[in-house]
Structure 1
Amino acid sequence: MVGKALETLFIKVWVIVKLNLFFWLFSCCGLIVAGVGPALKTVNELFVSHEFNYKEITLKDGWNTFKKNFVRGNLLFYGLGLLLSILAYNLFLSVQIQGMAFLMIDFLLVFAMIYGIVTYQYTLLLDSYYEIGLKNLLKLAFISTLSNFTNLLKIAIGVSLIVFITWKFKGLILFGTVSMIQIWSFTATKSWRQTIDQRLELHA
């Protein structure tokens, strides 16, 4: 019993490490600037497709997925980057001014940044599950974050905790941080994806 539990643990750790190394490899293939977005999408899609079946997560499959996701991955990633840049600049301006009204604005801007990151995680997951146009993907991701506030909190808190642990253990940047965020987002949104599937079956 203990041996089986240890084997399961090692498999999960290996999948986390493997996916994270794939992320950095594919990011470098895109010279970082054009590689991070598609690499994130590739890691997400590989896990959605195979979960902890480590033998099915291959470099060849990953490379083909990376090439397929190159344009869309960059569009989603830099769309998020533009949104966060605008919000961060406004937050920088807002914190320069004192007053209760501007404190409320600061809070709203921070929440909007968190909301943007969570919505981005939803776009990666939903795009891995369904064949859907970009416009409808963004709509579905937006609706998903609004439909279940608990899942939004789960993702936000989970990502924050992973980033905090990474701050304490820098080696995770290479071996685990990115893949753990993707896997946590997958786990936290499982109930909502099941709800979507049920509604699709009803309208089929």
Structure 2
Amino acid sequence: MVGKALETLFIKIWVIVKLNLFFWLFSCCGLIVAGVGPALKTVNELFVSHEFNYKDITLKEGWAIFKRNFIRGNIIFYALFVLLALLAYNLFLSVQIQGLPFLMIDFLLVFAMIYGGVTYQYTLLLDSYYEIGLKNLLKLAFISTLSNFTNLLKIAIGISLILFVTWKFKGLILFGTFSMIQIWSFTATKSWRQTIDQRLELHA
């Protein structure tokens, strides 16, 4: 029984490492600037499709997904990037002004940045599950993030912990950080995806 548990643990670690290496490989294929968005989407879609079945996660399939989602992945990623950049700039300006009203504005801006990051994770997951237009995808992701505050907290806290551990152990940037974020988001939103499937079945 211990042997089986260890085998399962090693398989999960290998999947995390494998997907994270895929992320860096595909990011470099897009010269980082045009590669990060599609690479994140590729890692997300590979895990959604195969979870911890490591033999089914192949470079060939990953490359096909990366090419297919190159433009869409960049659009989604840079929409988030621009949003976070604007919010961060406004936060930078706001923290320089003292007073309770501006403290409340700071809080709202920080929450908006967290909300934007979680919505991005929902967007990647939903896009991996359903064939849906970009406009409707963004609407569904926005609604999904609002629909369950507990899930929003779970994703935000989980990502924060992953980034904190990464800050302590820098090697995770190469071997685990980005894949762990995608896997955690997948795990944290399982109940909501089941709810969506049930509602789609009712309207089928």
TM-score calculated relative to the size of structure 2? 1.00
Q: Which residue of 2 aligns with 1:19?
A: 19
Runs of 4+ in 1 over 4 A off after TM superposition: none
Say yes or no: does 1:95 pair with 2:95.
yes
Matches within 5 A, 1:176-195: 176-195=176-195
Structure 1 unaligned blocks of 5 or more: none
Q: d(CA) in 2 for partners of 1:59 and 1:138?
A: 28
Number of corresponding residues = 204
Q: d(CA) in 1 for partners of 2:80 and 2:115?
A: 11
SS at match of 2:32: coil
**AA paired with 1:110?**
V
Q: Which residue of 2 aligns with 1:201?
A: 201
Identity %: 90
Q: Which residue of 2 aligns with 1:131?
A: 131
Could you list the per-position Cα deviations for residues 82-130 of structure 1 after superposition, in whole angstroms to 9, with x for gaps in the alignment?
0000000100110110000000000000000000000000000000000
Matches within 5 A, 1:35-184: 35-184=35-184
SS at match of 1:32: coil
Say yes or no: does 1:30 pair with 2:46.
no
**AA paired with 1:198?**
Q
SS at match of 1:17: helix
Q: d(CA) in 1 for partners of 2:10 and 2:61?
A: 22
**AA paired with 2:160?**
S
Q: d(CA) in 1 for partners of 2:194 and 2:21?
A: 30
Q: How far is the alpha carbon of 1:148 from its aligned partner?
A: 0.3
Q: Which residue of 2 aligns with 1:2?
A: 2
SS at match of 1:98: coil
Q: d(CA) in 2 for partners of 1:89 and 1:13?
A: 37
Q: d(CA) in 1 for partners of 2:175 and 2:110?
A: 29
Q: d(CA) in 2 for partners of 1:146 and 1:111?
A: 13
Q: How far is the alpha carbon of 1:58 from its aligned partner?
A: 0.3
Structure 2 unaligned blocks of 5 or more: none
CA RMSD of aligned residues (A): 0.3
TM-score calculated relative to the size of structure 1? 1.00
**AA paired with 1:184?**
W
